[in-house]
Structure 1
Amino acid sequence: MNPSKHPLRLRAPAVLAAVAALWSAGALAQATDVKIGFAAPLTGGQAHYGADFRSGVQMAIDDENATNPTIGGKPVHFVIDAYDDQADPRTGTTVAQKLVDDGVSAVIGHFNSGTSIPAAPIYAKAGIPEIATATAPTYTRQGLPTTFRLVTSDAQQGSVLGEYVVRDLKLKRFAVIDDRTAYGQGVAEEFAKAVKAAGGTVVAQEFTNDKAVDFRSILTHIKAADADAIFYGGADTQAAPMLKQMKTLAIKATLIGPDMMHSDELIKIAGPAADGALASSGGSPLEQMPGGKSYVERYTKRFNKPVELYSPYAYDGTRAVIAAMKKANSTDPHIYLASLKATNMKGVTTNELAYDQYGDLKYGGVTVYKVVNGKWQPLTTVGTK
């Protein structure tokens, strides 16, 4: 045989490979963008929360896109559509409408209860699932079919913390302060109820706002009440100056607050004064999460910064949404919503990620932490799986 007379026969493998490559490239180019909405504070005092939260969503999207996913027999490419809601309820509703208008298939967010609650009806009207870190019980009790929660609610967190500090730490007299946000007020109320039920006494109740930095007037009043501990329902960026002012006023009470350990802001700002402070957090400590070790390694490599804590929950929530789309074989929220409600999967944060009839986590769990020698140390964890 003369090879020169049969060039195509001898080159067929190369030709077929080239054709396959071109087809693959064409298929990839035709992949449909599926928008995953995101909303959280990306500026202001809570920006560190929002940045960590967004990174978890982005990593989940990146992981999924690396598999060249197909839904409904067609290639899809997930993209994040992110907005800064400034932790402001009015801005939150504006952002919610923008995300609906953008045609997102789901929303991971909002971060705060104060933004998540008023945004929820906007998403519900459009049939778009909202998977939020909002912890106020009201968020999932509005009678809307589209609300889901990424972390444990205040009802459980406040009650666990209130019972623990009375029963196990033997504290008896409590002052309660909240920042008047839906989140802060809600968790403070749950804490106060649990303290009373466990046999403790609330000797003072005060409130401030989520922009305040001077708490000396409130603290002076509380000092006269001789409390063993002060509970603050609000953000760590305010709890830190509050703690420093407690020390200046020679108030020896223990500062207690939910979610203060989600970053090191309290320790950074308060310094040595932070030692002894107590906090609760939804879920397990990062190092005890089923997929925690691997997640930390990949996250650190991807973003060159440490995990604060919210990102693993955002990661799991995003993967749950995408898994529901795949199961329903559709990115249309009206179609895949039922699959999302039936979610039962292993995640980074838990061995069984599942939602109850309200959209709350079935196995959220709560961990109580204490600052010891400048570091948050877990004391106890209950309710995880």
Structure 2
Amino acid sequence: MAFMACALTMVGTTRAAYAQEVVKIGVAGPLTGSAAQSGKDNERGVRLAIDELNAKAFTIAGKPVRFELVSMDDQGDPKAGVSVAQKLVDDGVSAVIGHYNSGVSIPAARIYNDAHVVMMTGASSNPQLTHLGYPYVFRLATNDNVMGGRMALYSAKVLNAQRAAVIDDRTAYGVGVADVFVDSAKKAGLQVVAREYSTDKATDFKAILTQIKSRNPQVVFYGGYYAQAATLARQMGELGINATLVGGDGICSPEFDKLSAGAADKRMFCAQGGAPLDSLPDGKTFRTKFKSAFSADVDTYAPAFYAATLVVADAMQKTGSSKPEVYVKALREQAFTSILGPVRFDANGDWVDAPVTVYQLNSGALTAIAQKD
């Protein structure tokens, strides 16, 4: 009996030693509303990464780990985002991959940082996010200073525009990228003939566009997201405004052409962080895996959210801990490989040497036409 008791104790000890640790990874974004397509795309990127980690029997400090996805809808709304952030913290997540909207990420970041939970966004581009002094906040994306500036220079030097009108949607993202465009445009010799404001729920731009039309701009820069930008493009056509529509990554979506009913074909240009997916060594493989897993095509930022998840997991493995207080040191100090290319973060948590690509809407598809490595 004593021998059996000892044997059972040893078995129990062995099982405990190899019991899987459950590590919760949160993902937050707009799963409903006008940006739901982007939110679902981002969530799928995280889910694909977690499924792959679990399939290969991932270990941390030699101990088997099972990752668990905790997904929440922030509705693209700052107040809802803060509530979601608190729920994720209360649920014990080790990291949050998100959010999508800068206006949501900025207030939510304080919740995560105060709780010592790593937050890594693959999309939010407002520079303020990584200048809050929060050591647990990271951005695996290009910021608005790069994208807004790139589109101003592109408008002046490549499109040869001399007059620009600017509209933003009053969100943290929209205002931020529009402000950078305006400042950069002036430095490039591009005259800003109008600066107008809307909202991220707007469906009628005709009053604004009527005023803009009289200023005869050659480009209209829109600081905001693709659903509203597509409506704007449609109404520009209805009012006979032949200006080229330009914007940052918020309008750079494959959904744009469908939502605009083709109104801006060959006359819409946008900047997006990262290199074109199919130009990356594993890009086409990722696209195939994604389509197989979800019966859907990659939209925009799924690769970045996928990469962010794997970078976080790599940091855990390098430090032998899933505790953010421990593995955050690796994120701050070490370099990582990813589907996007080399990843290293600066003192603010920004991706060092983040690439940006300019796309043109061409026959219904976004075509890369210029790239900064």
TM-score range, shorter chain: over 0.9
Q: How does 1:169-248 map to 2 (within 5 A)?
A: 169-248=159-238
Structure 2: which amino acid aligns with 1:164?
Y
The residue that corresponds to 1:166 in the other structure is: 156
Find out whether 1:266 has 2:229 as its counterpart: no
Find out whether 1:52 has 2:41 as its counterpart: yes
Q: 1:114 aligns with which of 83, 90, 103?
A: 103
Scaled by the length of structure 1, what TM-score is found?
A: 0.90
Residue 372 of structure 1 and its aligned partner are, at CA, apart by 2.1
Q: Contact 2:174–2:224 at 8 Å: present in 1 too?
A: yes
Q: CA RMSD in A?
A: 1.7
Alpha-carbon distance in structure 2 between the residues aligned to 1:92 and 1:30:
34
Residue 161 of structure 1 and its aligned partner are, at CA, apart by 1.2
Q: Contact 1:173–1:228 at 8 Å: present in 2 too?
A: yes
Q: Contact 2:18–2:63 at 8 Å: present in 1 too?
A: no
Alpha-carbon distance in structure 2 between the residues aligned to 1:260 and 1:335:
34
List 4+ stretches of structure 1 deviating above 4 A: 25-29
Find out whether 1:75 has 2:59 as its counterpart: no
Q: 1:291 aligns with which of 277, 282, 294?
A: 282
In percent, how many aligned pairs have the same letter? 43
The residue that corresponds to 1:249 in the other structure is: 239
SS in 2 for 1:217: helix
Residues 35-89 of structure 1, C-alpha deviations (whole Å, 9 max, x = no match): 0011100001100001000011011111111121222332210011111000000
Find out whether 1:65 has 2:62 as its counterpart: no
- Alpha-carbon spacing, 1:137–1:260, altered in 2? closer, same or farther (3 Å): closer
Contiguous gaps of at least 5 residues in structure 2: 1-10
Q: Contact 1:271–1:374 at 8 Å: present in 2 too?
A: no
The residue that corresponds to 1:5 in the other structure is: none
The residue that corresponds to 1:153 in the other structure is: 143
- Alpha-carbon spacing, 1:217–1:104, altered in 2? closer, same or farther (3 Å): same
SS in 1 for 2:262: helix
Alpha-carbon distance in structure 1 between the residues aligned to 2:207 and 2:323:
53
SS in 2 for 1:354: coil
Residue 374 of structure 1 and its aligned partner are, at CA, apart by 2.4
Alpha-carbon distance in structure 1 between the residues aligned to 2:140 and 2:117:
16
Alpha-carbon distance in structure 1 between the residues aligned to 2:67 and 2:140:
20
Alpha-carbon distance in structure 2 between the residues aligned to 1:345 and 1:361:
11
Q: 1:339 aligns with which of 310, 327, 330?
A: 330
Q: How does 1:363-374 map to 2 (within 5 A)?
A: 363-374=353-364
Alpha-carbon distance in structure 2 between the residues aligned to 1:27 and 1:296:
39
Find out whether 1:38 has 2:38 as its counterpart: no
Q: Contact 1:171–1:229 at 8 Å: present in 2 too?
A: yes
Alpha-carbon distance in structure 1 between the residues aligned to 2:30 and 2:313:
24
Q: Contact 1:286–1:309 at 8 Å: present in 2 too?
A: no
Contiguous gaps of at least 5 residues in structure 1: 1-21
The residue that corresponds to 1:134 in the other structure is: 124
Alpha-carbon distance in structure 2 between the residues aligned to 1:311 and 1:28:
35
Residue 346 of structure 1 and its aligned partner are, at CA, apart by 2.1
The residue that corresponds to 1:358 in the other structure is: 348
Find out whether 1:309 has 2:300 as its counterpart: yes
The residue that corresponds to 1:324 in the other structure is: 315
Residue 28 of structure 1 and its aligned partner are, at CA, apart by 10
Residues 292-320 of structure 1, C-alpha deviations (whole Å, 9 max, x = no match): 11111111111111111201000110000
Q: Contact 1:112–1:183 at 8 Å: present in 2 too?
A: yes
Q: Contact 1:261–1:376 at 8 Å: present in 2 too?
A: no
Alpha-carbon distance in structure 1 between the residues aligned to 2:110 and 2:54:
30
Alpha-carbon distance in structure 2 between the residues aligned to 1:102 and 1:167:
50
Q: Contact 2:25–2:94 at 8 Å: present in 1 too?
A: yes
Alpha-carbon distance in structure 1 between the residues aligned to 2:70 and 2:160:
48
Find out whether 1:125 has 2:86 as its counterpart: no
Q: Contact 1:291–1:347 at 8 Å: present in 2 too?
A: no
Residue 264 of structure 1 and its aligned partner are, at CA, apart by 2.1
